[in-house]
Amino acid sequence: MVLSSVVRSTHQGESHGGVYLADLETGEIEQVVDWNDPAISWEGRGADRGLRGIAFAGDRVFLAASDEVFVYDPSFRLQASFKNSYLKHCHEITVADDVLYLTSTGFDSILEFDLKRERFVRGYCLRFPRAWRGRRRLHVRPRPRFSVFDPEAVGGPAPADTCHVNSVVVVDGAVYVAGTGLGTLWRIRDARLERFARIPYGSHNARPFQGGVLLNHTASDRIAYLDRSGRIVRSYPLASYDERDLINTGLSKDMARQAFGRGLAVVSDELFVGGSSPATVTAYRVEPPEIRRSVNVSMDLRNAVHGLEVWPFDR
């Protein structure tokens, strides 16, 4: 597996994340990128700190930072990078059919980058009006306003984060979008927005799986498989540790806590891998629910897995 981690509440000069290769068979861990850039903006919690989404195309490895995507070869030698004026606070990314899809959380958007032409070709914005900010408290799931725009032209959406779009996957040509403030896994097909499934507010990494939805059920410290109505069918506990073994435990829970689930990679119909804090990756058998193997990268409570993918190269 390859994973990115984000270290919260770090100080300038300290490492605040990196990229690791983790072998779930042997337990071996290798850090391949240490993100420690003095030029990082320190405005806002988690905004520009660390690398996040991971994706692959051919022999290229894409790593997303806040407003820039870095391109590496399989040995993690930096090859290139690119930006876009509508890319801000990027989280998850994915590749399908020579298109790189990027979440642009700071613009409530998904961007499409054509890998052959090396240009941004389309953007989708999902945005709630200001009057709907109480939707989570009222347990309602309204439809966001949806628009398609050209990310290489003026006139697109203004910066805003009304639904915290942070995950994107592509299945059978359809784009599936989720965010902690959406309460729904949305599907985009033929430039139209469709409701796919009801999901809990605050969850992460929602994706279609075996007719339902697999996601990090963040509030309950577990990974859950839900039917499309939002009913939990199966659940899988995240790794937890004796508090005495943890490092940097003095932070408030909104900054760092144990078993915060983020990062999810499906290996097969029978196996998936989830991430949690302190930086840990765990392999699960789907049915019956069972933990197969867990590997810890760091016992620093601030260090949380973010991106998580199956490593496609020999190493």
Report percent pLDDT > 90 for the chain. 74
Instruction: Give the count of beta carbons closer than 10 Å to the beta carbon of residue 200.
Output: 18
Query: Per-residue pLDDT for 44 more than 50?
Result: no
Does residue 250 lie within any of the structural domains? no
Query: 30 forms bridges with which residues in the sheet?
Result: 21
Please give the residue range of the domain that contains residue 78: 2-7+32-238
- pLDDT band, residue 35 (cuts 50/70/90): confident
Q: Mean per-residue pLDDT for 299-305?
A: 88
Q: What does 182-228 look like in DSSP terms, one character per residue? A: T-EEEEEETTEEEEEEE--TT-EEEEEETTEEEEEEGGGTEEEEE-T
Does residue 305 lie within any of the structural domains? no
Out of 3-12, 71-80, 214-223, pick the least confident. 3-12
Does residue 314 lie within any of the structural domains? no
Give the pLDDT score at 88.
Answer: 95
Give the pLDDT score at 40.
Answer: 43
Out of 34-43, 118-127, 182-191, pick the least confident. 34-43
Does residue 225 lie within any of the structural domains? yes
pTM: 0.92
CA geometry: angle at 177 spanning 176 and 182, to 5°?
140
Does residue 205 lie within any of the structural domains? yes
Query: Per-residue pLDDT for 222 more than 60?
Result: yes
Query: 276 forms bridges with which residues in the sheet?
Result: 280
- pLDDT band, residue 258 (cuts 50/70/90): confident
- pLDDT band, residue 14 (cuts 50/70/90): low
Strands 145-149 and 165-171: unpaired
Q: Mean per-residue pLDDT for 173-181?
A: 96
The CATH number that applies at residue 171 is 2.120.10.30
Does residue 193 lie within any of the structural domains? yes
- If one compares 85 and 47, the residue with the highest pLDDT of the two is 85
Please confirm whether the linkage preceding 312 is cis (ω < 30° from 0): no
Query: Per-residue pLDDT for 184 more than 90?
Result: yes
- If one compares 247 and 12, the residue with the highest pLDDT of the two is 247
- pLDDT band, residue 12 (cuts 50/70/90): low
Residue whose pair of structure tokens reads 């689930």 in the numeric block: 261
Question: What is the number of structural domains in the chain?
Answer: 1
Q: Mean per-residue pLDDT for 67-86?
A: 94
Does residue 280 lie within any of the structural domains? no
Q: What does 126-172 look like in DSSP terms, one character per residue? A: EE--GGGTTHHHHT--PPPEEEEE-TTSSS-PPS--SS-EEEEEEET
Out of 43-57, 132-146, 269-283, 292-306, pick the least confident. 43-57
Does residue 231 lie within any of the structural domains? yes
